[in-house]
């Protein structure tokens, strides 16, 4: 009997240690999936314990109460021709491009909106500081909600006819940041090809964070380029404001890409994986 118990202990120990060694992760850039159960299972198995999701309103609501992941729920807008880019689902049940301010405030009060984003200003063909967006930013500042704004480029077949590449620079944030100095803003994709502009904005505005989704996806960005961009952020002293995000990429590959940055310490990686996001989204 004693020998049997020892054998079981040996057999089970790798499984126990592997659970213990799973990297704790806060994914701040997640969208809906056509296979929600499979998506949730993959995230949970990879160690994702919190996530910020934004997608069509109806699909987003279907995530509530479905997982042990602690979800934060966003508000994706403005929607080109009323649709979510790529999936082309209607953003809102009535097909509008923009939600009414009254409705947004009611959802905030009801606890159904935790952040504004992904702000699709670039897909819509307007600046992230366009006057049409300012009333929504005012609401976010009033209720202390973070705002996540798309930056950089876009993939093919996004279905947004007014998309403008030049609107992807975080330098377009300058007006909104000066108008709403208390607003918590994060640069989605860390500026992508405009990462140097993201660094400039972040060094001037301590309330601005960035997620490194897309950049950290080895299926899109090479390891060498990712390392060079991350080195630039680190050299700028921004390790406390970079956050993990998958943008629906393979979560294990994205985690591995970050772990592959040999110039980062374990402490720095933990900041990126979850600590910075926990602080940013704290009330």
User: Can you list the residues of the chain whose pLDDT is less than 70?
Assistant: 1-21, 283
pLDDT reported for residue 3: 39
- pLDDT per residue as tens digits for the range 114-154: 999 999 999 999 999 999 999 999 999 999 999 999 999 99
Q: Cα-flanking dihedrals φ and ψ of residue 272, to 5°? A: -70, -40
Q: What are the domain boundaries of the chain?
A: 22-280
Q: CA-CA-CA-CA torsion for 76, 80, 86, 91, nearest 10 degrees?
A: 40
pLDDT reported for residue 15: 40
Q: Does domain 22-280 have CATH number 3.20.20.140?
A: yes
Between CA 48 and CA 64 the distance in angstroms is 16
Between CA 205 and CA 175 the distance in angstroms is 12
pTM (two decimals) = 0.92
Residues sharing a CB contact under 8 Å with residue 190, sequence separation 6 or more, in sequence order = 151, 152, 198, 210, 211, 212, 215, 229, 233, 242
Across the beta sheet with 70-73, the strand order is: 25-30, 48-53, 70-73
pLDDT reported for residue 283: 66
Q: Tokens standing for 160?
A: 């947004």
Across the beta sheet with 208-211, the strand order is: 116-119, 147-150, 185-188, 208-211, 242-243
pLDDT reported for residue 1: 41
Exposed (0-12), middle (13-18) or buried (19+): which is 254, by Cβ within 10 Å?
buried
Question: 249, 217 in Cβ contact below 8 A?
Answer: yes
Q: Given the structure tokens 């689902």, which residue do they identify?
A: 89
Question: 38, 250 in Cβ contact below 8 A?
Answer: no
């Amino acid at each position: 009997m004693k020998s049997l118990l020892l054998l079981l202990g040996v057999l089970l120990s790798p499984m126990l240690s592997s659970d213990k060694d799973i990297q704790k992760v806060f994914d701040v850039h997640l969208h809906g999936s056509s296979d929600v159960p499979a998506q949730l299972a993959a995230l949970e198995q990879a160690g994702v314990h919190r996530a910020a999701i934004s997608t069509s309103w109806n699909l987003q609501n279907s995530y509530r109460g479905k997982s042990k992941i602690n979800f934060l729920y966003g508000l994706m807008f403005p929607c080109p021709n009323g649709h979510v880019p790529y999936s082309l689902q209607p953003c809102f049940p009535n097909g509008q491009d923009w939600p009414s301010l009254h409705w947004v405030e009611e959802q905030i009060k009801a606890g159904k909106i935790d952040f504004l984003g992904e702000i699709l200003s670039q897909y819509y063909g307007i600046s992230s500081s366009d006057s049409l967006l300012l009333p929504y930013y005012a609401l976010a500042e009033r209720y202390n909600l973070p705002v996540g704004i798309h930056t950089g480029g876009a993939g093919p077949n996004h279905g947004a006819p007014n998309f403008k590449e030049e609107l992807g620079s975080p330098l377009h944030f300058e007006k909104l940041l000066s108008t709403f100095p208390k607003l918590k803003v994060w640069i989605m994709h860390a500026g992508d090809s405009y990462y140097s502009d993201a660094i400039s904005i972040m060094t001037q505005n301590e309330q601005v964070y960035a997620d490194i989704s897309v950049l950290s996806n080895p299926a899109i960005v090479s390891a060498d380029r990712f390392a060079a961009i991350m080195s630039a952020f680190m050299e700028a002293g921004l390790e406390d404001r970079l956050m993990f995000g998958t943008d629906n990429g393979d979560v294990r590959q994205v985690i591995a890409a970050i772990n592959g940055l040999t110039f980062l310490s374990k402490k720095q990686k933990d900041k990126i994986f979850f600590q910075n996001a926990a602080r940013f989204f704290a009330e």
